[in-house]
Structure 1
Amino acid sequence: MKGKSILTIHAMLLLVVTAVFIWSIIKPASYLSWALEAIPAIIVLMIALSTYNKFRLTTLSYVIITILAILMFIGGHYTYSKVPLFNWLKDTFDFKRNHYDRFGHFIKGMLSMVIREILVRKTLLTKGTWLFWIVTSITLAISAMYEIVEWISFVIGKGGKTAKNFLGNQGDIWDAQWDMVLTLAGTIIALLFLSKLHNRLLRKELGKGLSNY
C-alpha cells in the first residue's frame, strides 16, 4: 500500500473508533462500569496515537486495536452481560448466559498480533516456534492479569452491582478459566491465520530491515 492510502485507512480507523467512543459515553448503563471497561482501551488508544510518528505499527495492528477498543466501548455502554445482540442470541438459542464477554475474550486473542509486531521489531526474535510461544505466553499473561484486576475490583467493591457487572461471571464459577481458554484459542487461531499477512505488511509498509519477515 502506498503512503497516502495507508494514512487514509488509519484516519478512517481513528474516525470510527472515536464515533463509537462518543456513542458509548452517552447514557451508559453505569458511568462507573463504563469507566472500568473503557479505560484500558482509552489508554491503549492514547499510546497508539502518541507513538504514531515515532513507532508506527502496521495497518493490521491498528485494525486489531480498533476492533478491540470498539468491543470494550460496547461492553462498557451496556455492561458485558447485557449487550442486546447477545441477549437476543441467548433468548433465540436458549443459552444459559449472554456470551458477549466470552466472545470478547476470544477476539482479544488477536492482540497477539500487536505483541508479535513489537517483538519482531524491538527484539532479536525471528519468526518461528520461539516467537509463536513467547507471543502466546505474553497474551495469556495479559489475560490472566485482567482476570486478577476483575477479582480485585470485586473484592474492593464488596460484591456490589458495579463490581458484579465488571466481573461479569453471570453465576459461572469457572468464568475466569473460560475467559483465559478462549483467549488462548483466539491467540493460536490469530497466529496461525494472520502471521503470513502480518509478515507481508511488515515488508510492504515498514520496508528495510525486516526482510526476514
Structure 2
Amino acid sequence: MHADRSSISLKVAYGLFAVVFFWSWWQPLWPVEQAMHDSLTVAALLALWVWRDRWALRANDQMLILLFLSLHSLAAHWLYSNVPYDAWTRAWLGVSLNEWMGWRRNHFDRLVHFMYGVCFTPALFSIALARLTPSVGLARVLAVGAIIVSGVVYEWLEWGVALALSPEAAESYNGQQGDVWDPHMDMLLAAIGALITWPWLRPASPRTPQAS
C-alpha cells in the first residue's frame, strides 16, 4: 500500500513538472536565452528518467529533483532576473517583498541556487550509499561535496558562455544584475541548502520503495 501511494505521488510529480515546463514555453519572452537555460533541464530530466533505477533513487529523491527542475523552468521563462515575484506578493498579500526585505535586486536566482542544494543532496546521498560506500557519514560528506563542486563547475560554465556572447547577451543570460559577488553567493547558498538536509540523510528503510 505504501509503495502504491509513493508510485502515484511520483507520477503526479512528473505530471506537474510537465505542466510547469510546457507552460513556461507558452509565448516565451526570450526564446533563445530560455532554450539555453532549459537545455540543462532537459538533460537532467533525461538522465533522471534513464538512470533512476541504476542510481537507486527513491521516490522522494526524484520528487525533490522534479521540484527543483520546476523552479528552474519557471525562472528560465523570465531569465531569472525578471521573475515578477514582487508583483505577485503585492497582488496577493498587498506587500512588496523587496521593500520589506530591503532588497535592491531580483533574488529569485538566490532561491533556485539554495533549492539546488536542498533538492539534489538527498539523491546524491542515495547514489553514494548505493554505489560508492556503505558508510552513512561518508555518503553525507560525498553528497554535500558533490553539490559544492558542481556549483563551482556551473559557475565556470556560465563564465564560459559569457565569454562567447556579447556583453548585453551575457548579462541577460547570467543575470548578475551588477553584483560582482553573484557567483560566490550562488555557490554559498547551494552549499547551505545541502548542509541543511544533513540530519535527514538516512538509508532507506525496508518499507521505503525505490524508484519505479
Query: Shared topology, TM-score over 0.5?
Result: yes
Cα separation, 2, equivalents of 1:56 and 1:121? 7
Aligned twin of 1:189: 196
Identity %: 21
Asked whether 1:205 is paired with 2:197, we answer no
For 1:118, the aligned partner's letter is: I
Query: How far is 1:20 from its partner?
Result: 0.5
Aligned twin of 2:135: 126
Aligned twin of 2:45: 45
Q: How has the CA–CA distance of structure 1 residues 16 and 160 changed in structure 2, closer, same or farther, with 3 Å as cutoff?
A: same
For 1:205, the aligned partner's letter is: T
Helix, strand or coil: the match of 1:171? coil
Contact 1:28 1:76 survives alignment (8 Å): no
Q: Which moved more, 1:75-84 or 1:130-139?
A: 130-139
Q: What is the aligned residue count? A: 201
Offset from partner CA, 1:43-85 (integer Å, 9 cap, x none): 1111222234555521221111111101110111111011111
Give the structure-2-normalised TM-score. 0.86
Contact 2:56 2:130 survives alignment (8 Å): no
Contact 2:56 2:127 survives alignment (8 Å): no
Q: Which moved more, 1:80-89 or 1:31-40?
A: 80-89
Larger relative contact order, structure 1 or 2 (CA cutoff 8 Å, min sep 6): 2
Gapped regions of structure 1 (runs ≥ 5): 208-213
Q: CA RMSD in A?
A: 2.0
Aligned twin of 1:17: 17
For 2:109, the aligned partner's letter is: D
Contact 2:3 2:209 survives alignment (8 Å): no
Contact 2:68 2:116 survives alignment (8 Å): yes
Query: Structure 2 matches for 1:33-182, cutoff 5 A?
Result: 33-52=33-52, 55=55, 57-86=57-86, 89-91=97-99, 93-110=101-118, 111-128=120-137, 130-161=138-169, 163-182=170-189
Q: Which moved more, 1:2-11 or 1:51-60?
A: 51-60
Cα separation, 2, equivalents of 1:153 and 1:76? 16
Cα separation, 1, equivalents of 2:162 and 2:98? 25
Contact 1:154 1:160 survives alignment (8 Å): no
Give the structure-1-normalised TM-score. 0.86
